[in-house]
Structure 1
């Protein structure tokens, strides 16, 4: 079988053509595929990482931003179908978490139930809040970014870099803040939730509510830190993901 061709959407920082399972990584608001560049080195050799690059950033900066999360989920799911010749797991942080959930729904509808869904830094889709960060002026949006500590201080101090980053952040906030969950059947795959003990965006109850969205195994992992707690817990993250994918990694 011919191996799928990487596209503008899909990045493979450490290709593993014979891997038994693929882990699709979905960035946070304003983030890019390179956020996951170091993850493959921490995972089992039988896991290949596919990082998704959204339109409107880095080498896709000249493309228009996606107008809705539903549209983005359908586009990502379509891009992943050629890679579904082996099990696909999904991992997303913040915006990427709810996107991963909707991509999992789309893949399931297409006959490809995910091997697992791992989500981080986001409340359950069924627990919605009204948020308007995307409507703030630039100074207000910068305060929001600094509060979450998800952007390198060197970027925040560089006016030229800020002009490049803020439009993507605002566009991503717009689609996730305008997202509305449509009730439907729960997923049929294992679901693992990572949350930061001090994350202002996700309460303990909102993280636990993800349990409602699967009929399979559920695990909630609480780690120290705020919204971007995962940057300090990369090894623990990789350990939990590898354990969750263990049924697909054993040699037969």
Structure 2
């Protein structure tokens, strides 16, 4: 699954980690959360642990990895039992070929792959991520710019046609609350915009102080209401995933 929105700062990285964490906790592992941003993103910082090797090294070494044990050396194990593959330092710009190659390698050893993307849907890395995605997840805040950029992403994918359009038509939107005041008139307008965008499902997640701290995210530190909301959203994503891979 790919977590995406053209707008930055709308919760893509926390959503990626928590969706992967919920799945990892249920499955007991075999879930990888992978950075597919053009340049190093925030995934490594928001994840637990500080591995010595990460995405840049995995791109470099991927043709030499032939076992689950070798691949584990490039991940940060989470207390949720998910594994994170993120940048641990500077790396070269990610290409579509890099994303496809790393994804295929990860899929040999993990049952589920969650991808945390950047803000440029026209980039090579994003196009590569689209190629290896079965379900699109779009996080938004209750803010006009975040929602308009999300809708623009869906429109962009529909214009591409084929597989990209299918992802847009089956997208799952997750509405996050970040604790800032929300104007009821703006929220009502956002409701209309999202309805017109025709996603497959929309889930709402309440404010959570642990996420708002902008530090490493631990599944066990989320508030119970937030965990329930993300669990429901994860179930919806899995439902779309099952439909997509039939």
What interval of TM-score do these two structures reach, taking the shorter chain for normalisation? 0.3 to 0.5
Q: TM-score, normalised by structure 2?
A: 0.41
Q: TM-score, normalised by structure 1?
A: 0.41
